[in-house]
């Protein structure tokens, strides 16, 4: 086993880290308070190739591997998790599925603008009555000439307020309940309407909205994969997407550890640095250990995906452990800072708020445990064998 990053991966890591430290981290607190970051930031990310890190050069991307992309998400999320999730959804949940499941025409038409940042991607699966049970979605795509007319509502859509390309899931077969009647479509941003901007606990710099689709007309060229195979697209997308969210959790935890460590080395009580007290030393030791463990899980899952090997179980393990670790260790960072950790003078409280969502979206921790259990017990294989 080789644990070193390649020279190219280290270069990409340094690029993302330097940009995060210079352009994102100094502004993250203000963006949190303002509930948004300036849109020109996306242009800067695009200029550096960070909106298409793992997209082949022939489609306008940087042509790096999937692990490089995961490292970028870690570094961006270390600076501001809201920026990290914006890039994660754009890439993992929209660009990569089109690259994987699209026709040659769809890949040539939609992927280059996404990779270059000319359009930002939004992933529209969740509905008010279809969260973890995504197969129960109600948004309907009825026959309309040689295409479909789509009507429905979506909830908690990241990038939905400015997404230029929307990967949307709708039921094309009303007589088939559950996942088998669902199809995936590529819509333009002007085919959906924002009805509400969500007020959230954390990730305030990212946009999360409710959408309605009011009779959007789409042709056959907007159907992604095959009719009735939308759930296959969604599940494959989530398999890879949860690795990205695990990387986001990892970045948040790393940022919290950095702040706690630096504070412990400077803060003095009872005549010495608090880093000299065993109680603080043990907290920092646990934080460092759990962050390292999470990083190994996340990088392993990313490596498996880029090698084209099965990674459903490994991705679920990475997300489960990294997200719960981030929630625990951001809380410990606040504890190290004491009263200052509870104020907005330091970013620890923001890291704590940002970390919580990583246990919920792209599959809750409970769903991750279900995915892992079905894998280790062979239940998924048995279900597929039974049809």
Where are the domains positioned within the chain?
7-119, 122-227, 232-385
Chain-centre distance of CA 380, in angstroms? 25
In terms of C-beta density within 10 A (0-12 exposed, 13-18 middle, 19 or more buried), how is residue 308 classed? exposed
| Cα 46 from Cα 58, distance rounded (Å) | 16
Q: What is the pLDDT, as a whole number, of residue 129?
A: 86
The CB density around residue 385, as the number of other CB atoms within 10 Å, is: 8
* pTM of the entire predicted model: 0.94
144 strand-pairing partners: 147
| Cα 231 from Cα 377, distance rounded (Å) | 23
Of 48, 52, 131, 40, the residue nearest 87 (C-alpha):
52
Q: What is the pLDDT, as a whole number, of residue 24?
A: 98
The CB density around residue 179, as the number of other CB atoms within 10 Å, is: 20
Considering 127, 217, 362, 383, which one is annotated as catalytic?
362
| Cα 240 from Cα 310, distance rounded (Å) | 11
The topology (CATH level 3) of 7-119 is Butyryl-Coa Dehydrogenase, subunit A; domain 1 (1.10.540)
3-state helix, strand, coil in the chain (%, to 5): 60, 15, 25
Q: What is the pLDDT, as a whole number, of residue 380?
A: 66
Q: What is the pLDDT, as a whole number, of residue 60?
A: 96
Of 143, 96, 137, 130, the residue nearest 115 (C-alpha):
96
Q: What is the pLDDT, as a whole number, of residue 384?
A: 42
The topology (CATH level 3) of 232-385 is Butyryl-CoA Dehydrogenase, subunit A; domain 3 (1.20.140)
Do residues 355 and 327 touch, judged by C-beta distance below 8 A?
yes
Q: Which tokens hold the place of 198?
A: 């969500």
- What b-and-e string marks burial along 84-115, b requiring 16 or more CB atoms within 10 Å of the CB? bbbbbbbbbbbbbbbbebbeeebbeebbbbbb
Do residues 161 and 207 touch, judged by C-beta distance below 8 A?
yes
362 is catalytic: yes
Q: What is the pLDDT, as a whole number, of residue 121?
A: 97
Q: What is the pLDDT, as a whole number, of residue 386?
A: 44
Do residues 110 and 118 touch, judged by C-beta distance below 8 A?
no
pLDDT digit of tens for each residue in the chain (387 aa)?
888 999 999 999 999 999 999 999 999 999 999 999 999 999 999 999 999 999 999 999 999 999 999 999 999 999 999 999 999 999 999 999 999 999 999 999 999 999 999 999 999 999 998 888 888 899 999 999 999 999 999 999 999 999 899 999 999 999 888 889 999 999 999 999 999 999 999 999 999 999 999 999 999 999 999 999 999 999 999 999 999 999 999 999 999 999 999 999 999 999 999 999 999 999 999 999 999 999 999 999 999 999 999 999 999 999 999 999 999 999 999 999 999 999 999 999 999 999 999 999 999 999 999 999 999 999 865 554 444
**CATH number, domain 122-227, options 3.30.110.60, 1.20.1300.10, 3.40.50.300, 2.40.110.10:** 2.40.110.10
Q: Provide the strand spans (E) within 49-94.
A: none
| Cα 366 from Cα 50, distance rounded (Å) | 31
The CB density around residue 258, as the number of other CB atoms within 10 Å, is: 15
Chain-centre distance of CA 252, in angstroms? 13
Q: What is the pLDDT, as a whole number, of residue 303?
A: 97
Contacts of residue 113, defined as CB under 8 A and 6 or more positions apart, other chains included, come to: 60, 119, 164, 165
The SS3 of residue 325 is helix
């Amino acid at each position: 086993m080789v644990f070193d990053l390649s020279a190219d991966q280290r270069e990409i890591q340094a690029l993302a880290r330097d940009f995060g430290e210079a352009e994102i981290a100094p502004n993250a607190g203000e963006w949190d308070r303002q509930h948004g970051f300036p849109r020109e930031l996306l242009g800067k990310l695009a200029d550096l190739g960070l909106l298409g890190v793992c997209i082949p050069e022939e489609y306008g991307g940087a042509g790096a591997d999937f692990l490089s992309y995961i490292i970028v998400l870690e570094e961006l999320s270390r600076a501001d998790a809201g920026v990290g999730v914006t890039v994660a959804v754009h890439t993992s949940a929209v660009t990569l599925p089109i690259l994987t499941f699209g026709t040659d025409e769809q890949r040539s038409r939609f992927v280059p603008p996404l990779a270059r940042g000319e359009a930002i991607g939004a992933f529209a699966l969740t509905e008010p009555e279809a969260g973890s049970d995504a197969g129960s979605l109600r948004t309907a795509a009825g026959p309309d000439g040689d295409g479909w007319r789509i009507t429905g509502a979506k909830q908690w859509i990241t990038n939905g307020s400015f997404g230029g390309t929307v990967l949307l899931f709708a039921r094309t077969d009303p007589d088939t309940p559950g996942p088998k009647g669902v199809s995936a479509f590529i819509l333009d941003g002007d085919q959906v309407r924002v009805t509400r901007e969500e007020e959230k606990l954390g990730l305030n710099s990212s946009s999360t909205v409710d959408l309605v689709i009011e009779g959007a007309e789409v042709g056959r060229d907007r159907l992604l994969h095959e009719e009735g195979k939308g759930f296959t697209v969604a599940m494959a997308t989530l398999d890879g997407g949860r690795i990205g969210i695990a990387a986001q959790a990892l970045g948040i935890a790393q940022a919290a550890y950095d702040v706690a460590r630096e504070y412990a080395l400077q803060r003095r009580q009872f005549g010495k640095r608090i880093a000299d007290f065993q109680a603080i030393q043990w907290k920092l030791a646990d934080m460092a250990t759990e962050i390292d463990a999470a990083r190994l899980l996340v990088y392993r899952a990313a490596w498996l995906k880029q090698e084209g090997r099965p990674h459903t179980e490994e991705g679920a393990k990475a997300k489960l452990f990294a997200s719960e670790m981030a929630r625990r260790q951001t809380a410990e960072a606040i504890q190290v800072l004491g009263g200052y950790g509870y104020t907005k003078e330091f970013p620890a409280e923001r890291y704590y708020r940002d970390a919580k969502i990583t246990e919920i979206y792209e599959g809750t921790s409970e769903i991750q445990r279900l995915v892992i259990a079905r894998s280790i017990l062979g239940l998924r294989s048995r279900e597929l064998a039974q049809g």
